Structures are given as structure tokens and as C-alpha cells.
Amino acid sequence: MGLFNFILQVVAVLICSYSFVSFAVHGYKIGSNDIPSTLDGPFAPHTAPFDVSLRGNAVDLPDTDPRVRRRVKGFQPEQISVSLSTTYDSVWISWITGEFQISNHDKNITPLDPKSVASVVRYGTSRNPLNHEAKGYSLVYNQLYPFEGLQNYTSGIIHHARLTGLKPDKLYYYRCGDLSIGALSGVYSFKTMPVSSPNSYPKRIAVMGDLGLTYNTSTTINHVISNDPQLALLVGDVTYANLYLTNGTGSDCYSCVYPDSPIHETYQPRWDYWGRFMQPLVSKVPLMVVEGNHEIEKQVENQTFVAYSSRFAFPAKESGSSSTFYYSFNAGGIHFVMLGAYIAYHKSSDQYKWLERDLANVDRSITPWLVAVWHPPWYSSYNAHYREAECMMVAMEELLYSYAVDIVFNGHVHAYERSNRVYNYTLDPCGPVHIVVGDGGNREKMAVVHADEPGNCPDPTTTPDQHIGGFCAFNFHDWPSSRSVLLGQTA
């Protein structure tokens, strides 16, 4: 099934006044001399065709799978996860208490009261006693479909608490919950990021995209766990709950699930299944998520991204964005910029102005590496989603290039692909390397068809996506995808 995920090993050497990339796909011996750097490029294109004998048709984990079933009682915490704040001295812990409720649209559901369960984390550098305490906040969200025959969902109580005053590169133990009602979790642990400097980096970073919740997802996550990363990134498309009707019936095909439905439904319990499935990894390894198109999940009053924005904690305020759709953080000597492709990105938008401020504040003598992450790729030779995000590229590529971004990670296209250094469709030693990791294992099909194969050049009128905005690929026929020009490796 191609390469499910990409384990990044960084070695910083200065070039272009900043830095360059030396990375290795898992399987290479890290530190061996046969790993080329991008300074050795540009490389000739190499394509490893998808092996159709592998599990190309991923199958969702059923709700009977023990990994997705509720394993706690009452208001005991579950779906426990860690995510980073902007700097090493702070992290977020998130968890859920109480059971979700789902019922027909004409029956009233009384949501759980978020204030009925406290949001407390006890933590410290030794398992016992846990000397420090953080108090957080809680919320409940609804996914409502006011249509005949559809079902409404209200979540369990979602808790987020921010731990502060942490030391770098240190193991911390924690328990979360509400001791006053006897609902405290077991003891979990995480390791903080190293201090930000050119000489300190997280040991390994797992980068995943388009995960879903299938048996193939399970292969991806087992692979990630076995590689013991210190940080994990998820570049959008999380649970694929929107491939389900509210009655829990699913389909492999996004466009054919809803021929008669008045609104594109979702089955929100899949989010709870996903949170339980991921807990063994993300209760220990911080997970940083950015939104994909499968998180849009439109509901009543045109609300979107409600599950995404409610369930994850983001260092939004800490990084000056006040939005769950874009934010930044440091991990050792790397500054990560997480961008939103499904909200305004044009030059007068809040996101663009925030990005200008954020990039202007990056000190490359402290964080030599600058990595940008968003969901739909700008550079991809696959037919699927071909040049779909061109308007975002037109708006933002110059800004990212002017600050010498080293690497871009994307998903969306269900394949692995890595470019040479590129800017404005031209090989450029100071442009970023673009890496697509959309092969996380979701139930949709893998991307296998390349746009530069005979007869496959996509029709420009089919490429825009209504959620990304506009059609900007005006030089469409001047750039017929061309693996032969730009791309270093596809698989």
C-alpha cells in the first residue's frame, strides 16, 4: 500500500542563509552515508507504482471492535490525548467524560452539563506524588440535522487543560479527571519537547495524513508506535465520519453516499471510536492536527468543523491566531506553521495577516528549520485533486518562499509523493520540498493514476473544489503535472 507514513529525521546544515533538508524514509539506516540530502538534488524522478495486491481497499473497523468500544464507566476519562502548546514548557491534555447521545431529530436530547464534571490534571516528574495541578475548561457540542428521519448527536463532556511550567526534554506523569466524583484516570506519561535551539530536536516525528479508522489505519498506527516518535502530526482528514449516514450506515464513496439526503450527513460516534482507538498512541505522544475537507461536516445553521474544533486542543491563542484552523508551535529547533486551506487565505484575510506576523517573528538562529503543514497539496502529479488548491498557492506561496520554508507536508491525495525543491513550478534550491502523505489508510481508494500519463491530463473545469475557492490554475496546459520536471520520488 505504498508508504503509510513518513518518519522524519532532520540534520541541519545551513544553506540559502537558513537550512537544508536531509531526510530519510523509514527503512533506511538513520545516520548512514547513503541518505542523500536535497543539496545532492535535484533528483531524477522515480515512481514506484502502487502494488494492487496489497490491501488497497481499506475496510473500516466495525463498532464491535474492542479498540473502538467504550472501556470506562460513568464519568471516568476516556479518549485521552496530549498536544503541544507553542513552546516546550506547556502542553494540552484533552479527554472526554460521559457518554454521547444520539436520537431521532424529533426527540429532545438533554445534553450533558459540561460544568457537572471538573477538568483537572495532576502532573509531575515522578509518578507519585503528582505535585502540580492544572484546571481547564469543558464543553459539549452538537451535530444537528433537523430533517425527517435523520438523527442528532450530542457529545460527551470534552475537557481541555493546559499544563504549564514544564521543563524541556523531560518525562512527565499525569492523571486527568474529577477526583471529587471518583472519576480520575490512570497514570499516563509524555515527554516534553527539547529546548528550541539549532542543536536540539525531537528524536523522531511521525507525519500522517488521511488516517480514517480502518484495518489499514491500524497498520499505520502500529507502525508509528513501533518507531517510538516523540511527536506526531496529522495533516488533515481524521475520522471519515462523514462517509456515514446518521443511522450508522457507511459507504466507501463520498459522492454516492448521499443521493437523496437534504444535507451531507455524518455519524459522529465514529469520532468517539477514533478517539478510543488512538488513545494508546496520543495519550503518550503529542498529536498536532490541522483540518482537512473531511472535517467540514456541515450541519444546522451552516455550522462547519464543529467536531474538529471541539475535540482537539490547539495552541491557537498561544501563537496569536485565536483560530482552530491555523496556528504555530516549536518543537526543538523546528518552527511548525499549520495552515487552513478551507478558510480564507487571501492576502487581506486574518489567516494571511497572522502568517505574516508569525513568520516575521521566527528567529532562525533559534529554530533553523521552518516547516509548513496544510491539507491539500500544491504540488502533486496525481490525477486526484489535481491543482485543486491552486488559489491558496497563488495567495501564499510567495510569502512562504520569502521566509525560506524548508519542508511542506500535505495529505488529501491518497498516496506518498515527494518533490525536489521547488517554487512557482520551477526547480529552486531555496524552495521547499513538498511531501504528500495522504496514504494513512482511510477507506477511500488510493490515488494511482498520474496526470502526465497519456490521456490522463485532467479537465481544468473539474479541478476546483467548492470548499477551497475559485479556479486559479490558468496556466493549466503549461504545467501538465510533469513528474519528469519536478518530482523526486513517488510511491
Q: Identity (one letter) of the amino acid at 248?
A: G
DSSP secondary-structure letter at 478? G
Residue nearer to Fe ion on the CB measure, 270 or 412: 412
* Least Å from the CB of residue 117 to Fe ion: 34
Contact 275, 74 (CB under 8 A): no
Nearest position to Fe ion, beta carbon: 412
* Least Å from the CB of residue 476 to Fe ion: 21
* Least Å from the CB of residue 94 to Fe ion: 23
Residue nearer to Fe ion on the CB measure, 192 or 293: 293
The widest CA-to-CA distance across the chain, in whole angstroms, is 67
Angle between helices 269-282 and 215-226 (to 10 degrees): 20
- Report the C-alpha gap between 184 and 174 in whole angstroms: 10
- Report the C-alpha gap between 279 and 78 in whole angstroms: 8
Residue with cell 504528500: 436
Name the E strands within 223-290: 231-234, 287-289
- Report the C-alpha gap between 423 and 40 in whole angstroms: 18
Per DSSP, the three-state class of 65 is coil
Residue nearer to Fe ion on the CB measure, 101 or 251: 251
- Report the C-alpha gap between 56 and 143 in whole angstroms: 31
Residue nearer to Fe ion on the CB measure, 320 or 470: 470
Number of residues in contact with Fe ion under rule CB under 5 A: 4
Length of the chain: 491
* Least Å from the CB of residue 467 to Fe ion: 10
Grid cell in block for residue 459 = 479537465
Binding mask 238-277 for Fe ion (x = CB under 5 A): ----------------------------------------
* Least Å from the CB of residue 411 to Fe ion: 6
- Report the C-alpha gap between 106 and 46 in whole angstroms: 56
* Least Å from the CB of residue 444 to Fe ion: 9
Angle between helices 350-360 and 390-402 (to 10 degrees): 20
Single out the residue of 373, 35, 334, 363 nearest to residue 194, CA to CA. Answer: 334
> Given 385, 412, 434, 450, which residue is catalytic?
385
Grid cell in block for residue 35 = 541518505
Residue nearer to Fe ion on the CB measure, 293 or 328: 293
Positions 316 through 355 that interact with Fe ion (CB under 5 A): none
Q: Which stretch binds Fe ion (CB under 5 A): 5-13, 366-374, 405-413, 439-447?
A: 405-413
Contact 22, 35 (CB under 8 A): yes
For the question of residue 414 being annotated catalytic, the response is no
| Position 292 contacts Fe ion (CB under 5 A) | yes
Residue nearer to Fe ion on the CB measure, 277 or 342: 342
| Position 237 contacts Fe ion (CB under 5 A) | yes
Q: Identity (one letter) of the amino acid at 67?
A: R
Q: Which stretch binds Fe ion (CB under 5 A): 285-293, 301-309, 315-323, 364-372?
A: 285-293
* Least Å from the CB of residue 400 to Fe ion: 20
Residue nearer to Fe ion on the CB measure, 78 or 291: 291
CA 67 to mean position of chain CA atoms: 21
Q: Which stretch binds Fe ion (CB under 5 A): 23-31, 267-275, 293-301, 334-342?
A: 293-301
Q: In this chain, which of 276, 412, 434, 443 binds Fe ion, going by CB under 5 A?
A: 412
| Position 417 contacts Fe ion (CB under 5 A) | no
Contact 238, 211 (CB under 8 A): yes
Active-site residues, by number, are 385
Which chain residues interact with Fe ion by CB under 5 A? 237, 292-293, 412
